[in-house]
């Protein structure tokens, strides 16, 4: 049975957390199949908060490694969803 893992990350201070978050994305990039980043932006504001959605590749060990590394970064909320085909 195939599995699909989605990780949702709520970033509460993009300026403070971006460097460490990008470091994890780079180190574990072979496990990240899809990455989508969302934040509020218009002519008057660029929100310091954001939402990132990751679709992972690599099985349970890879999913756990990504989730655990992200949870080590202060200021992030990390949630995981696993779907089976």
pTM reported for the whole predicted model = 0.89
Tell me how many domains the chain contains: 1
Q: What is the CATH number of the domain that holds 55?
A: 3.30.70.1150
In whole numbers, what is the pLDDT of the chain averaged over residues? 92
Q: How do residues 2-20 score in pLDDT, each as one tens digit? A: 789 999 999 988 888 889 9
pLDDT of residue 42: 80
Summarize the confidence of residues 64-75 as an average pLDDT. 96
For residue 55, the SS3 value is strand
Which stretch of 2-6, 33-37, 75-79 has the lowest confidence by average pLDDT?
2-6
Range of the domain at 25: 3-84
Provide the Cα torsion 22, 34, 76, 24; round to 10°.
-30
- pLDDT beyond 80 at 1: no
Tokens 């990039």, residue located: 29
Question: 8 CB contacts (<8 Å, ≥6 apart)?
Answer: 51, 52, 53, 54, 78, 79, 80, 81
CB 75 within 8 A of CB 10: no
- pLDDT beyond 70 at 72: yes
| Tokens, residue 56 | 């992972």
For residue 35, the SS3 value is strand
């Amino acid at each position: 049975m195939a599995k699909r893992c989605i990780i949702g990350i709520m970033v509460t201070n993009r300026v403070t957390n971006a460097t460490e978050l990008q470091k994890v994305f780079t180190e574990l990039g072979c496990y990240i199949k899809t990455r989508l980043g969302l934040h509020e932006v218009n002519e008057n504001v660029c929100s310091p908060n954001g939402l990132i959605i990751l679709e992972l590749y690599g099985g349970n060990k890879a999913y756990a490694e990504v989730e655990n590394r992200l949870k080590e970064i202060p200021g992030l909320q990390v949630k995981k969803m696993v779907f089976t085909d």
